[in-house]
Amino acid sequence: MKSIGSRITLWYAITLTATLATLFIAGHYLLERYLVRQLDELNENQFKHLRAVLGQDYASLTPAVIDERIREATESASSMFYTDMHGPMTNRFFRSSNLHGQSIPDIVGQNIYSISVDGVGEVRVGEFLLRPFDVMVATPLAPVRDLMAGYRRVFFGLLLLALVLALLIGYGLSELFLRPVRVIQETANRIRSDNLTERIPVGNVKDEMSQLAAFLNQMFDRLENAFSEIRRFSAEASHELKTPLSLMQLHAERLLGDDTLTEAQRDSVMVQLEEIGRVNHIIDELLFLSRADAGAVLIELAQQSPAAFLGAFAQDANALAEYDGKHFVWTHTGEGSVSIDGKRIRQVLLNLLTNALKVTPLDSGVSMDSTLVDDRWRISIVDEGPGLTTEQCERMFERFVRFGNAAGGDTRGAGLGLPISRSIVKMHKGRIWATSRDVGRGLRVVIELPATQRA
């Protein structure tokens, strides 16, 4: 069970119901024992009554007289007691008429017991010695059993009620206990790298919860410090790197204007300029990523028609593909508009397109399919390159990840295009993933964006 609240509720309900059930079971046992004892006492009293009726000289009476005397004294109460009296040789002296000819079974070695008699039902038997006779007096157990059955019905009803009540109370209690936790959770959830100044409200009561909130707030203080350190570092580092790079670029460009340079020297300067351009680009991308991580990159959402947006992109895509000696085709289905930051999504599509063009063989093509259904805009870019394994498809969105591909191609990328694309897609609350179209043939990269959203 995932939530503490439901666990508290459940444990509370179990404990309460189990306690009640134990009490009820104990009550059941004690009550039943008490009632059966009462029956035993009744049996004993009835025996005493019989003994009195028989008188002192009972041993010398004939069976007929005994029968007559007992019958006179007991038949009035015959519905309540069963009497069975026999002599030493099981010759019967008296058997009450309500036994309907049955005798009460004798359990050897026991003189108080419960037993079932055919045609009579369950009875409680008391066996008494009245030498030379053996007198058995029995009372029906049915009233006790009925009472206990009623007790059980009430008990189960009450137990069910108790369970429902315990669940309700448990739920209420858990809500009460967990309210501070919820407040902490909500606030902590709101506190992100872009709003590190918010703090969890700490109550006046000094309990474990307020202590926890205070500790978390201290942690947020430290995090805020660390984050501003990192941001300052990134900004300063890029500044520190960019200035010398610009100077290097400036000097290299000035050198190019020098007529005395040999061809080889000129080539070398050109290479330097190219590398400087690359490093500049990487620094810009890294800066973008660290700012995006810090939540400092804002996206400007605007309603766009996907068909028009992709149409404009396709013009550039066609030109790029043609330049590489490859084709580009695209389709779109679905009506409606999408709310996106056009410049950034274009950047993502360009990243994906350049990756796809890099691996697609000459005279082959890259295709882009877009669908807008149910408020989801999905664009997939499919190439005809060598594709990637499932594991590579997961890893390719990580920073600086590049796979030397069999098709050769331009392996000089920084491995930052896809991480940037992913962070832009995330800013749009969308997803990006890749699957190999067929094992070892072509890659399909899919972007899925919610069509409508707030900035």
Ligand X SMILES: Nc1ncnc2c1ncn2[C@@H]1O[C@H](COP(=O)(O)OP(=O)(O)OP(=O)(O)O)[C@@H](O)[C@H]1O
**Residues of the shown chain interacting with Mg ion in the complex, contacts defined by CB under 5 A:** 355, 413, 417
Which of Mg ion, ligand X, none lies near 385, with the C-beta cut-off 5 to 8 A by kind? ligand X
- Shorter beta-carbon distance to ligand X: residue 200 or 353: 353
Q: Which is nearer to ligand X, 365 or 450 (CB)?
A: 365
Distance of closest approach, residue 358 Cβ to ligand X, in angstroms: 7
Q: Which amino acid is at 362?
A: L
Q: How many CA atoms lie within 13 A of 31 on its CB side?
A: 15
Which CB, 98 or 421, lies closer to Mg ion?
421
Complex with ligand X: residue 126 or 417, whichever CB lies closer: 417
Q: Which of Mg ion, ligand X, none has residue 356 at its interface (CB below 5 to 8 Å by kind)? A: ligand X
Q: Which amino acid is at 368?
A: M
The smaller minimum CB distance to ligand X, of residues 304 and 367, is found at 367
Of 112, 131, 132, 115, nearest to 123 by C-alpha is 115
Q: CB under 5 to 8 A by kind: which of ligand X, Mg ion, none does 199 bind?
A: none
For 334-421, list the strands marked E by DSSP: 338-340, 365-373, 376-382
**Contact predicate 356/381, CB 8 Å:** yes
From ligand X, Mg ion, none, which one binds at residue 396 (CB under 5 to 8 Å depending on kind)? ligand X
Minimum Å gap between C-beta 281 and Mg ion is: 12
* Min separation Cβ 398 and ligand X, Å: 8
**36 vs 287, which CB is nearer to Mg ion?**
287
Which phi and psi (to 5°) does residue 402 adopt? -135, 145
Say whether 404 sits in a helix, a strand or coil: coil
Q: What would the two tokens of residue 415 be?
A: 């491995």
Distance CA 422, CA 417 (A): 9
85 membership: H or E segment, kind and range:
strand 82-86
* Shortest CB 360 distance to ligand X, Å: 8
CA distance 280 to 274: 10
Q: Which residue, 234 or 423, is less far from ligand X as judged by CB?
A: 423
Q: Where on the chain is the footprint of ligand X (CB under 6 A)?
A: 351, 355-356, 359, 383, 385, 388, 396, 401-403, 405, 413-418, 443
- Residue 188 vs 446, nearer CB to ligand X: 446
CA pair distance 365, 383, nearest whole angstrom: 7
| Cα–Cα distance, 352 to 368 (Å, whole number) | 10
Q: Hey, CA dihedral for 49, 53, 58, 64, is it positive or negative?
A: negative
Quick one: which of 166, 144, 124, 122 has its CA closest to 17?
166
Nearer to Mg ion, 180 or 417 (CB): 417
Taking the least distance from each CB to ligand X, the nearer of 321 and 443 is 443
Residue closest to 398 by CA, chosen among 414, 421, 419, 426: 419
Binding partner selected for residue 349 from ligand X, Mg ion, none, CB under the kind-specific 5 to 8 Å limit: none
Q: From the CB of 340, what's the least distance to Mg ion, in Å?
A: 20
**End-to-end CA, the chain:** 36
Residue 234 interface partner, choices ligand X, Mg ion, none, CB cut-off 5-8 Å depending on type: none
Give min distance, CB of 303 to Mg ion, in A.
29
CB of 316 to ligand X, least distance (A): 17
Closest CA to 340 of 312, 304, 372, 307: 304
| The two three-digit tokens of residue 36, written as one number | 């059966």
Distance of closest approach, residue 282 Cβ to ligand X, in angstroms: 8
Cα-flanking dihedrals φ and ψ of residue 299, to 5°? -110, 145
Nearer to ligand X among residue 317 and residue 359 (C-beta):
359
Strands, DSSP E only, in 89-120? Answer: 92-95, 112-117
**How far is 388 from 32, CA to CA, in rounded Å?**
77
- Min dist CB 434 to ligand X, Å, is 7
Q: Tell me, rounded to whole angstroms, the distance of Cα 145 from its chain centroid.
A: 47
Q: How far is the CB of 397 from Mg ion (least distance, A)?
A: 11
Least CB distance from residue 270 to ligand X, whole Å? 20
The first and second tokens of residue 331, run together, are 């389709």
Q: Which does 405 bind (CB under 5 to 8 A by kind): ligand X, Mg ion, none?
A: ligand X
| Residue 381: CB atoms within 10 Å | 25
